[in-house]
Amino acid sequence: MRGPPPTTTIGSRVLTDLRTALPSRQRAAVLADHRVFAVLLALAAALRVVTMLGYRPAQLYWYDSFTYLDTAVHLAPSATFHPSGYPLLLRALWPAHSVELIAAVQHAMGLAVAVMLYAVLRRRSLPGWGAALATVPGLFDASFLRLEHAVLSDTQFIFLIVAGLAVLMWSPVLSARAAVAAGLLFALAALTRTIALPLLLLVLLVLAVRRAGRRRLAALALAGTLPLAAYAAWYGQHHGRYALSGADGVALWARTMTFADCRIVQPPPEQAVLCPNGTVVDAASEYVWAPGSSINLLPGDRFRHNDLARSFALRVIAAQPLDYLREVVRDTSIAFSWTPIAHPARVTPAFGFSRGHWSLPDQPLIGKVRQEYDPGIRAMSPVGPYADFLIAYQYVAYLRGPLLGAILLLGAAAAVRRPRIALLPWAIAMGLLVAPVAVLDFDHRYVLPVIPVACLAAALLFPPRPPSPPRAPTRSGPGAA
């Protein structure tokens, strides 16, 4: 028997095998089943291309973006708010010397988040249109376009959280291998933004309620803890104490400044210097930076007093728990307003695409980063007509607060109706919403990670697609009709 002609490739043989294995009607059915999501994904990718063309090179914030880029070049654990998980990604992209590449990778991550959501929901037998609908806010909300286009850690954080959830939810029975992978992903999320630390504990709690098994819980806990312990040891070599950051106490102290009453708290003299001193700003987080706030009147850098600030804050919360809860609830409620509320007043809450030209401050760190990471770093500027389109688009494509509230309520109903699969994403969504406010303050940026996870939980409320009836076997050979 003669073999295939020399021009036959492996790829063509694979395609031939697929055509043989799947009749044309079945191939068409498979493609049609994912058609809605494929169209949405293509449109979302086009939007991200428009964003890169409309605002170049990328959004760079003083001082966060340049700190991340500098840490990527000189890897060392930061003693401020930023752990080193995100700089590790920037380090991997450093050989290209391009902040535009960073933005491109982050836009790809945004698309990958939608793919993971869709895959998990289809795995859970949701129809194609229902699974695709759950990805719409993350794919098309203009706030995600802006976030992915900025040199900030948030997009990587969202990617890791959703990836961890996808691993945990992929199979009805959690395997030890999946538990280890999820633990590592949540550990990486915590090294990207420390707010993921309580989320890891929340995951363990929910899985314990679901009776996932001691060995699997132990595997997840160990995989989630070891990278954090290694990072804390690395931090200790540089800063003399084991920690993931040097700002948790300062952040919690700022949270208490909106309600602390030292007549009730009666702190010891060494903590009393951190009592409110009459300085009033419009958001808890602003106390970290306000020149007149009590922590900034102490000698040295504010983060040198992190341990003292933590002790003071915990004492205040213990003495005034209801006041603390009131402030957390009040600031969290900002997420549900129809019109975005600027908090603090100096920020643009949602509609950030504009025709204006940004400028970079005259700071030595910027020159250093330009020399070492990307010589093409410059202030971002709009490019028409792409920027004009995005400016108009953002006012329409924005998930209003009441809609987010409705999604969370649907997720809560799903958690009650189908607790084995919906409780975990809903609990994570609520943790992502409340935890940043509880440890520092509300920020519209911090709400964005809630949206894809909340959509995942809400989609699980709807009944799964019934299984297709088995096809009758096709007869062949001499006896076929």
- Tens-place pLDDT, residues 157-216: 999 999 999 999 999 999 999 999 999 999 999 999 999 999 999 999 999 998 888 999
pLDDT in tens, 223-258: 999 999 999 999 999 988 898 888 999 999 999 999
Dihedral sign of CA atoms 241, 243, 246, 249 in order: negative
Q: Distances from the Cα of 17 to the Cαs of 9, 10, 25, 27, 318, in angstroms?
A: 13, 11, 16, 13, 68
What pLDDT is stored for residue 2 in this prediction?
A: 45
Lowest mean pLDDT of 4-8, 40-44, 268-272, name the range: 4-8
Phi-psi label, residue 453: left if phi above 0, alpha if psi -120 to 50, beta otherwise: alpha
Segments making up each domain of the chain, as ranges: 33-221+333-459
pLDDT tier, 349 (very low <50, low <70, confident <90, very high otherwise): low
- CA trace torsion 298, 74, 109, 83 (10° rounding): -30
Give, in degrees to the nearest 5, the angle at Cα 358 between 355 and 364. 170
pLDDT surpasses 70 at 365: yes
**Contact (Cβ atoms closer than 8 angstroms) between residue 244 and residue 225:** no
Residue pair 51/142 in contact (Cβ under 8 Å)? The answer is no
388 vs 356: CA distance, rounded Å: 11
